[in-house]
Structure 1
Amino acid sequence: MQEEDKKKLVEEIIRRLERIYPNKLELNFQTPFELLIAVLLAAQATDAKVNQVTAKLFEKYKTPEDYLKVSSEELEKDISSINYYRNKAKYIRSACKILLEKYQGQVPKSIEELTKLPGIGRKSASMILYNAFGINEGIAVDTHTARVSRRLGLTNEEKPEKIEADLMKITQRQDWGKLSNLFILHGRYVCVAKNPKHKECVLYDLCPSREL
């Protein structure tokens, strides 16, 4: 498929998926800082589990200072039902320290700055920038985005950074964050890893993988 054809295909894919899914993450948050904390907790954990934990966490901790006022043990206890909670507690406290020292307690607004925070890679940074600030600096490629992109013939790459580069070439910049949000939801609920739900898929007629 030529690049121009892929660009038209992406526009149609977005149009169809927008009818079904909201352009948002399933993580609950009210502020950029809350989203940062939720994303740090979300590695190797479901969004539903993270939301269960943050419902209480965000009542207790409002600012970076709040996470540094308590002991490591207390924070660990508050997030102990999450996988790898000890490491995540360290990431949270370290990130909060950096926010206070370098950014006046505010979440920075670039991939370069965000990826200097512990536990935040390019995927997470792109997610935070778009969903907290509406900034399209990259496309967050998680396992769902990668799978959906390959099945739709938008990329043949395996590595997230190469998939992202392919998608950025054929997607309008204003749609980068939206594409990721929609692909994550579609991959989570319809274009699942095993036995994709072809009968429920609004992209079925566009998908070169439908016969596989």
Structure 2
Amino acid sequence: MFPTLSPQPSAAVENPRSVYGGASSTLNFINRLDAESAKIYWIDFSGNRVLRATIAPGNAIRLETYVGHPWEVVVSRKDETRTVIYYPTFPEANAILDKALFPILTLPAIRPSDAPNLLSTQGGTSTAIEFENRLNVAVKVFWVNFFGKRALFATVPPGRSCRQLTFVGHPWAVSTETEKEPFVVFFPAPHEGTAVIDDSLLHEGNS
């Protein structure tokens, strides 16, 4: 068994580039993502990215390299891109590409009374929200438009979820199927987030 390397976000690595003199090594890139291909770049001695491979979902590739030679992996979804760097170790290591590259944040739940004058603003980046209904009743999901009016986008049955593309700065309100007024509001994050809808929110809304 070879060790599994931990990726570093590319933005956190200052001026990555290969250096001479490292021991020979091997990197096994393993793509365990469901639908996304991964582009594999060697970062040369001048800091340039050189495309060496594209790995389809479920595939793997073994690349010969050296300790001190960084490798960058770029994985894109429709609405977001992840770029990470791996540093080889001696004599061989695995770089596993899986859903951990796309961590999904749990969005804060906001009571409507704490979000007065609610409306969408323009200019935000594209993102997505996964509405996860953990209640035993259906919920209605509303986009709050630029004039503060609610527009029904989805009804989510109990125990189900739905993914909604949106933009940063566009609030979303949730009500039960039988109630007119929402009991919780979610604001999108720059990266995809989960809006967990459970009993605790109903209790907060009634407190």
The structure with the greater share of residues assigned to helix is 1
The structure with the greater share of residues assigned to strand is 2
Normalising by the residue count of structure 2, what TM-score does the alignment of the two structures yield?
Answer: 0.24
Normalising by the residue count of structure 1, what TM-score does the alignment of the two structures yield?
Answer: 0.24
Structure with greater Cα Rg: 2
